[in-house]
Amino acid sequence: MVERASFEITGREDFSEVTYSLVVHHPLMAKAANPGQFVIVMSHEAGERIPLTIADFDRHEGTVTLVVQAVGKTTREMQQTCKVGTRLYALVGPMGLPSRIGHAKKVVCAGGGLGVAPVFPQARGFKESGAYVIGVLGFRSKNLIFWSDKFSACCDELIICTDDGSAGIKGFVSDGIKRAIERHTGIDEVVAIGPPMMMKACVETTRPHAIKTIVSLNPIMVDGTGMCGGCRVKLGNEVKFACVDGPDFDGHKVDFADLTTRLRRYTEQEKLALQRWSDTCRMKEPLVSGGRNVAATPPHPPATELLELPDPFEDVRGG
């Protein structure tokens, strides 16, 4: 009998009611990973395959870190089942083209909400290449801030923005980018990652200044190998597949309206899948996380609340 590899979860932290990180032991993946790449995960044998960005990797420890937002059936299910000591059934990757770190001398790395996590390896990569790195992190509110310590360690400047003004400047990620542009000449590149509306706002902020702006696109993916065409995105007149041609693209060329329309295509089916899962889910007890932040882990909400999850398209956090 051939024994399958499986990937132990060695760490977990809950940042909010809906956002959590998983540290997964996978030395080969950690060795091969580069900023900007992603993995496709199956949490159990019958589970859906979902793409998640490699938000951090530690070649010495042999781990990769994923940061997940519970927006639907699978991410909600993983929030309950993926505890320290459990194993992911499958982890494929690293997938996608690595981000081009290049020779930029001054860069802005901007993340909104969950987008803060995938922009981290790029900020660190730019710092390691000798660039002056300005981090711009946007959250709805102070209590949702995460990883500001990790960014402080690799950024020369850090601008925190909150929608409600409870920390840093009151405003969106695009306001933070505006501030960086006002204060600095010679910004070579902006990297902006977050919900489509946030990335669009960032792109419109840099366009008048002709600053190269890279965004990371997250269309619905199926195979992740360029075969199914599910992840097609439009850049001007060109069509690209985010899984093999991206996920990083020139933000000034991206057709964000098309991206949003395609992302909403299966909304009804996704609601049904979540409803079916919540109806049959027997794990109604509070989540007992093996992570560091157990005390902050909220109890599992009743099934009736399960449909009130964050909307991945809402134009807060930078829009």
The binder of ligand FAD chosen from 71, 84, 90, 244 (CB under 6 A): 71
Residue 74 beta carbon to ligand FAD: minimum distance, rounded to whole angstroms: 3
Binding to ligand FAD (CB under 6 A): which residues in 246-265? 247, 263
Residue 51 beta carbon to ligand FES: minimum distance, rounded to whole angstroms: 8
Q: 230-239 long-range CB contacts below 8 Å, 24 or more apart?
A: 232/262, 233/258, 233/259, 233/262, 234/258, 234/259
Between 211 and 230, how does the x/- string for binding to ligand FES read (CB under 6 A)?
----------xxxx-xxxxx
Q: Is the peptide bond before 121 cis (omega within 30 degrees of 0)?
A: no
41 touches which of ligand FAD, ligand FES, none (CB within 5 to 8 A by kind)? Answer: none
List the helix and strand counts (H, then E) for the chain.
Answer: 9, 17
68 touches which of ligand FAD, ligand FES, none (CB within 5 to 8 A by kind)? Answer: ligand FAD
Binding to ligand FAD (CB under 6 A): which residues in 260-289? 263, 267, 270, 274
Q: Is 249 in the site for ligand FES (CB under 6 A)?
A: no
Nearest residue to 66 (alpha-carbon basis) of 21, 18, 16: 21
Cβ neighbours of residue 259 under 8 Å, at least 6 residues apart? 196, 217, 219, 233, 234
Residue 232: other Cβ atoms inside 10 A: 17
Nearest residue to 246 (alpha-carbon basis) of 144, 147, 99: 99
Q: Is 72 in the site for ligand FAD (CB under 6 A)?
A: yes
241 touches which of ligand FAD, ligand FES, none (CB within 5 to 8 A by kind)? Answer: ligand FES
- First-residue to last-residue Cα distance in the chain: 53
Q: Which is nearer to ligand FAD, 86 or 129 (CB)?
A: 86
Residue 210 beta carbon to ligand FES: minimum distance, rounded to whole angstroms: 30
Kindly list the residues in this chain that would bind ligand FAD in the complex (CB under 6 A). Answer: 38, 48, 50-53, 67-69, 71-75, 114, 118, 218-221, 247, 263, 267, 270, 274, 312
